[in-house]
């Protein structure tokens, strides 16, 4: 083939490659605009104080190499937890038949972070549970869960990062990471975040029969990427698509503990069991300070009696779109407010979702906060 023809073919290939990257350059520009909008919102932040409660943030459902399908080390998990300034952390190991993985994973204080061990267990019918200490049992992957009549259930993992991420086109995600990971590592997820419609639907239905706490699971594995390592295991070259430090910024569980209550495994597990917590997609902005309350000292997770003057209150750190659900149906939908008080005249299960439409079309319909319910009996 003549040299001129070879050059022409190479130029065409180069041109095609360059043109194929234009959408990703534009997507990086959109992330820059989103980042600027989030920074602007941070200047407007006025955290709402919980009367008598302290907001502790952490993550639930994280795997290490103990589970067999992650290459992540315990040291990497501790480092990532410290970088995220966590107060508590649930480390989940997949069960193995030959040894007790839950007893081998992190528990207690490490690097100033409280770790609570646990297992992800599977039943014969395929149902999976997050089994935590002191008998706390959380439904994992509710869209696939079958035995909702099982006794001893305490909660539902209504949102799971890994399940959400599996819907992404891997080629698109790869180039998004190449273009934007250095500048906007966690904001890349704004392209892929989806409201967990099926998980919320299953939870709302289950709430008609029992009290169940909603959690958001990171399901972090740190096992997606390409790398070249030497014989000692040191990475020489590579790209990690889901490092722990980034995964832990995406969704967090905010626990609400009474001010006089110390942070330890028992207080954390009791708060989860009681529903004194909410889910925050904190990569869109720190959701600390959100409050959903009733009466003098009742918060999400609590049960109250219906009276002629029963009222519920919602407060957010910044003006937001507040959507209140009653028994799974929209009860109230109001935009541009940071505080809302409303009368309740009927018994039911009331919960809140919060959105940030001012951040732009990319995330306007994607939740920032998902509360636990207040049960009006």
Taking only the tens place, the pLDDT of each residue in 108-135 is: 898 899 999 888 888 989 999 999 999 9
Listed in sequence order, the residues at least 6 apart from 110 whose beta carbon sits closer than 8 Å to its beta carbon are: 78
For 171-193, how does the pLDDT look when each residue is reduced to its tens digit (9 = 90+)?
A: 898 899 889 989 999 999 999 99
Mean pLDDT of 253-270: 94
Maximum distance among all Cα pairs of the chain, rounded to whole angstroms: 90
Mean pLDDT of 91-115: 73
DSSP state of 249: H
For 274-298, how does the pLDDT look when each residue is reduced to its tens digit (9 = 90+)?
A: 999 999 999 999 999 999 999 888 9
> pLDDT band for position 226 (50/70/90)?
very low
Q: Which residues pair with 315 in a beta bridge?
A: 291, 339
Does the structure show a pLDDT above 70 at 315?
A: yes
Question: Does residue 222 contact residue 240 with C-beta atoms inside 8 Å?
Answer: yes
Question: Does residue 272 contact residue 136 with C-beta atoms inside 8 Å?
Answer: yes
Listed in sequence order, the residues at least 6 apart from 349 whose beta carbon sits closer than 8 Å to its beta carbon are: 204, 207, 208, 326, 327, 328, 373, 374, 375, 376
Residue 13 lies in a domain: no
Residue 182 lies in a domain: yes
> pLDDT band for position 366 (50/70/90)?
very high
Q: Distance between CA atoms of 352 and 367, rounded to whole angstroms?
A: 10
Alpha helices for 235-302 (secondary structure H): 244-250, 265-274
Does the structure show a pLDDT above 60 at 64?
A: yes
Give whole-number Cα distances, 77 to 204, 210, 242, 325, 345, in Å.
33, 34, 12, 36, 47
Residue 12 lies in a domain: no
SS3 (DSSP) at 125: coil
Residue 149 lies in a domain: yes
Does the structure show a pLDDT above 90 at 230?
A: no
- Provide the token pair at 314: 């919602």
In terms of Cβ atoms closer than 10 Å to its own Cβ (0-12, 13-18, 19+), residue 67 is buried
Give whole-number Cα distances, 222 to 41, 62, 76, 78, in Å.
30, 9, 10, 13
> pLDDT band for position 227 (50/70/90)?
very low
Residue 285 lies in a domain: yes
Residue 282 lies in a domain: yes
DSSP letters of 314-363? Answer: EEEEEEEEEEEEETTEEEEEEEEEEEEEEE--S-EEEEEEEE-GGG-TTT
Q: What is the pLDDT of residue 89?
A: 77
For 201-220, how does the pLDDT look when each residue is reduced to its tens digit (9 = 90+)?
A: 999 999 999 999 999 998 88
Nearest to 362 by CA among 226, 216, 191, 231: 191
pTM: 0.89
Give whole-number Cα distances, 344 to 161, 208, 349, 372, in Å.
34, 18, 11, 17
Lowest pLDDT segment from 44-48, 98-102, 109-113, 213-217:
98-102
Q: Distance between CA atoms of 274 and 295, rounded to whole angstroms?
A: 17
Does the structure show a pLDDT above 90 at 27?
A: yes
Residue 4 lies in a domain: no
Residue 178 lies in a domain: yes
* Structural domain boundaries, residue 97: 19-376
Does the structure show a pLDDT above 60 at 238?
A: no
Q: Which has more pLDDT, 4 or 86? A: 86
Nearest to 146 by CA among 159, 172, 133, 128: 128
Does the structure show a pLDDT above 60 at 236?
A: no
Q: What percent of the chain lies above the pLDDT cut of 90?
A: 63
Average pLDDT over all residues of the chain: 88
Domains: count for the chain: 1
Does the structure show a pLDDT above 60 at 97?
A: no
**Torsions phi, psi for 204 (to 5 deg):** -60, -40
Determine the Cα angle at 107 with ends 104 and 113, to 5°. Answer: 140
């Amino acid at each position: 083939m003549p040299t001129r023809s070879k050059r022409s073919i190479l130029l065409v290939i180069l041109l095609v490659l360059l043109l194929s990257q234009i959408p990703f350059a534009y997507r990086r520009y959109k992330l820059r605009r989103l980042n600027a909008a989030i920074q602007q919102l941070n200047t407007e932040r006025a955290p709402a104080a919980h009367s008598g409660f302290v907001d502790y943030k952490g993550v639930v459902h994280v795997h290490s190499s103990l589970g067999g399908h992650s290459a992540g080390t315990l040291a990497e998990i501790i480092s990532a937890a410290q970088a995220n300034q966590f107060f508590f952390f649930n480390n989940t190991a997949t069960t193995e038949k030959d040894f007790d993985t839950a007893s081998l994973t992190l528990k207690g204080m490490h690097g100033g972070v409280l770790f609570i061990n646990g297992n992800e267990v599977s039943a014969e019918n395929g149902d999976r549970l997050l089994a935590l200490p002191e008998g706390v049992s959380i439904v994992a992957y509710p869209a696939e869960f079958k035995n909702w009549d099982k006794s001893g259930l305490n909660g539902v993992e209504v949102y799971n990062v890994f399940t959400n991420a599996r819907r992404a086109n891997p080629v698109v995600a790869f180039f998004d990471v190449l273009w934007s990971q250095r500048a906007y590592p966690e904001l890349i997820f704004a392209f892929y975040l989806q409201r967990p419609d099926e998980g919320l639907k299953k939870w709302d239905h289950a709430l008609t029969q029992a009290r169940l706490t909603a959690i958001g699971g990171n399901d972090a594995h740190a096992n997606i990427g390409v790398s070249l390592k030497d014989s000692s295991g040191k990475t020489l070259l590579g790209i990690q698509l889901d490092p722990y430090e980034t995964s832990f910024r995406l969704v967090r569980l905010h626990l609400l503990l009474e001010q006089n209550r110390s942070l330890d495994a028992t207080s954390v597990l009791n708060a989860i069991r009681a529903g004194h917590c909410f889910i925050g997609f904190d990569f869109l902005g720190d959701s600390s300070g959100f409050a959903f309350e009733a009466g003098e000292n009742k918060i999400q997770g609590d049960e109250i009696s219906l009276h002629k003057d029963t009222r519920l209150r919602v407060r957010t750190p910044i003006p937001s779109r507040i959507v209140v659900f009653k028994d799974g149906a929209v009860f109230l939908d109001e935009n541009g407010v940071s505080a809302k008080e409303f009368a309740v005249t009927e018994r039911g299960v009331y919960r809140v979702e919060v959105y940030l439409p001012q951040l732009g079309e990319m995330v306007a319909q994607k939740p920032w906060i998902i509360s636990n319910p207040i049960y009006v009996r």
